[in-house]
């Protein structure tokens, strides 16, 4: 078997996702949105299945430009199912709307970009991944074609193009210094501290925007509020995790002398604290969850500072990514069913106890209360950061959990108050409640399962 064929065989999941995206578009052109949905779900399930036999592999393909390693494989195992759940949520929200099938196609395209990003071994693949996922995301945000969505997409677009431009500009310094676009050649940067610093800032800007890290987060709350709720949930999970994993891919090869770990730690501190402080002031649940996802991005960085230093770094990133995907999508699903103002949550926990309990579970998991998935992930992240000598960051992250609890209790507290008089119906947003219930039920199972039986993920990583 030639090198090319062998490499291609390792990329079957990516190839299947690409074909799925194109096929969904064809079904939309035939005016068969339901077929597009079924096709997309089947394609993503197939891609997930094709990933499983690759687990444990650690190779480069196409001359080192793409990596098949723990991060990229687990990105597939987490992001593909997350996209499938998002497809169901999108169906529940947007069924019957004009151009419905394009949403399914675009979701697959964005996920394709996210997978490229999470496995990139080359700076140009970073750029490609960011652009691929940004273009599709823009169209998804603008999908409702009303003023809010258009404004949100516009802000999103300006942010995407500026940060993308900065990233490409800065990366040319790395290319100039090392003579290669491969991440594996970043070790040569030690001789060029200035070029290393400029490139580092550029990468942080480009990926920080994608992961909605403070201070590159300003687009996120507006974009999430303007977009359909299902799209907001998707954007808060899939591109974010991909960008975090890409950041890990870059930092793996960067020498510690560039001081990147301290910069990442600073960004982590800023994101965590700022995200929850801002969340405390929100009246719109989507905005609250948007700021919460900014803070959670900061928590992810605790794993990145330990890359190459602590054996806990990779398990912590993967575990928290899986946990975050489940609990955040679950929370967004319930918001989609209940309504996006805090008032619509009043009394929800009493009127529909199971849904209320599920929402409480997701939010407590986001805080990091044991024995839920969020705790398993954060616990490993704290351990990784301490192991890497960033005890102060772990301490800050831990103390910050109190702000997190205060922010999420803003949703939990009204849920168990008697319902407000003007808010009699809880069922005003349900196009197809069963799909939404299915999504959050899956999320509940994963959130509980990862918390109690996280060993399954841990031993698969080893």
Partner 1 sequence: MLPIVSITLFLPVLGALLVMALRRAPATVVHGIGILTSTLVLLGTLWMWARGIEPGTFSQVEQIDWMPTLGASYRVGIDGISLPLVLLTAVLFLLTFIFSAKVKERPHAYVVLMLLLETAAIGTFTALDALLFYVFFEVSLVSMYFMIAGWGHEDRQRAALMFFLYTLLGSLPLLLAILGLYLGSDQPTFDMRAWIANPPLSGSAAMLALIAMLFTFAVKTPVFPLHTWLPAAHVQAPAAGSVLLAGVMLKFGAYGLIRFALQMTPDAFREIGMVVLVFGVFSALYGAFAALAQSDLKRMVAYTSVNHMGYIVAGVAIAALATDPAIRAVALDGSVLQMVSHGLVTGALFFLVGMLDDRAHTREMDRFGGLMKFVPFLGWSFILAAFASLGLPGLAHFPAEFQIFLATLREAPAALIVILGIAITAGLYLRAIGKVFFGEARTEWAGMPDLNRREVLTLAPLLLLIIVIGIAPAWLLGMIHQTTTSLQF
Interface residues with partner 1 (CB under 8 A) are 315, 350, 353, 364, 367, 369-371, 375, 379, 382-383, 386-387, 391, 394-395, 398-399, 401-402, 405-406, 409, 413, 416-417, 454-455, 458-459, 462
Nearest to 418 by CA among 338, 346, 340: 346
What CA–CA distance (Å, rounded) separates 35 from 42? 10
Task: Give the nearer residue to partner 1 in terms of CB position, either 162 or 398.
Answer: 398
Provide, rounded to whole angstroms, the least separation between the CB of residue 197 and partner 1. Answer: 31
**Residue 329 Cβ vs partner 1, minimum distance, rounded to whole Å:** 22
Q: Record the tokens describing residue 211, joined without a space.
A: 């992961």
Are the C-beta atoms of residues 303 and 384 closer than 8 Å to each other?
yes
State which residue, 48 or 310, has the beta carbon closest to partner 1.
Answer: 310
Least distance to partner 1 from the beta carbon of 387, Å?
A: 6
Question: Is residue 435 within 8 Å of residue 88, measured between CB atoms?
Answer: yes
Cα distances (Å, whole numbers) of residue 382 to 277, 310, 391: 21, 11, 8
Bridge partners for 284 per DSSP = 341
Provide, rounded to whole angstroms, the least separation between the CB of residue 424 and partner 1. 20
Could you give the CA distance from residue 145 to residue 156 in angstroms, rounded to a whole number?
15
CA-based max dimension of the chain: 71
Beta carbon nearer to partner 1, 181 or 352: 352
Decide whether 260 or 375 has the Cβ nearer to partner 1.
375
3-class SS of residue 60 = strand
Nearer to partner 1, 253 or 343 (CB): 343
Nearest one of 341, 237, 372 to 293, comparing CA atoms: 237
Pick between residue 202 and residue 358 the one whose CB is nearest to partner 1.
358
Which C-beta is closer to partner 1: that of 37 or that of 403?
403
Task: List phi, psi (to 5°) of 144.
Answer: -65, -15
Question: Least Å distance between CB 462 and partner 1?
Answer: 6
Q: How far is the CB of 354 from partner 1 (least distance, A)?
A: 9
Measured from the Cβ of residue 104, the count of other Cβ atoms closer than 10 Å reads 32
User: Given phi > 0 = left and psi -120 to 50 = alpha, else beta, which region is 158?
Assistant: alpha
In the bound complex, what is the minimum distance in angstroms from residue 405's beta carbon to partner 1? 6
């Amino acid at each position: 078997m030639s090198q090319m064929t062998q490499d291609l065989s390792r990329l079957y999941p990516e190839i299947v996702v690409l074909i799925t995206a194109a096929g969904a578009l064809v079904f939309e052109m035939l005016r068969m949105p339901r077929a597009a949905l079924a096709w997309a779900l089947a394609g993503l399930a197939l891609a997930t299945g094709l990933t499983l036999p690759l687990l444990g592999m650690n190779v480069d393909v196409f001359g080192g430009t793409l990596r098949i390693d723990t991060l990229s494989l687990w990105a597939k195992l987490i992001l593909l199912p997350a996209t499938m759940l998002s497809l169901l949520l999108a169906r529940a929200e947007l069924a019957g709307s004009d151009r419905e099938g394009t949403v399914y196609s675009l979701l697959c395209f964005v996920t394709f970009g996210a997978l490229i990003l999470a496995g990139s071994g080359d700076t140009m693949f970073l750029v490609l991944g960011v652009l691929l996922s940004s273009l599709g995301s823009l169209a998804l945000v603008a999908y409702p074609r009303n003023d809010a969505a258009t404004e949100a997409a516009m802000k999103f677009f300006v942010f995407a193009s500026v940060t993308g431009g900065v990233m490409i500009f800065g990366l040319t310094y790395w290319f100039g210094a090392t003579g290669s676009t491969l991440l594996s050649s970043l070790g040569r940067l030690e001789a060029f501290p200035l070029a290393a610093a400029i490139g580092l800032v550029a990468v942080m800007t480009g990926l920080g925007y994608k992961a909605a890290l403070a201070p590159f987060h300003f687009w996120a709350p507006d974009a999430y509020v303007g977009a359909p709720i299902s799209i907001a949930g998707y954007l808060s999970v899939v591109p974010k995790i991909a960008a975090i994993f890409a950041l890990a891919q870059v930092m793996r090869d960067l020498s510690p002398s560039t001081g990147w770990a301290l910069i990442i730690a600073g960004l982590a501190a800023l994101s965590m604290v700022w995200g929850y402080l801002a969340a405390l002031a929100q009246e719109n649940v989507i905005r609250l969850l948007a700021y919460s996802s900014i803070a959670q991005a900061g928590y992810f960085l605790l794993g990145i500072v330990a890359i190459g230093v602590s054996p806990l770094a990779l398990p912590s990133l993967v575990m928290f990514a899986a946990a975050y995907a489940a609990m955040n999508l679950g929370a967004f699903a319930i918001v989609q069913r209940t309504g996006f103002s805090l008032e619509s949550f009043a009394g929800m926990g009493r009127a529909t106890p199971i849904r209320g309990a599920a929402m409480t579970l997701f939010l407590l998991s986001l805080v990091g209360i044991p024995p839920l998935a969020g705790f398993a992930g954060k616990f490993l992240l704290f351990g990784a950061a301490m192991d890497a000598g960033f005890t102060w960051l772990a301490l800050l992250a831990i103390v910050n959990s109190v702000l997190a609890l205060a922010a999420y209790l803003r949703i939990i507290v009204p849920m168990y108050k008697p319902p407000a008089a003007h808010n009699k119906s809880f069922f005003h947003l349900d196009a197809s409640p069963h799909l939404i219930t299915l999504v959050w039920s899956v999320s509940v199972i994963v959130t509980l399962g990862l918390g109690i039986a996280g060993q399954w993920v841990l031993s698969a990583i080893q």
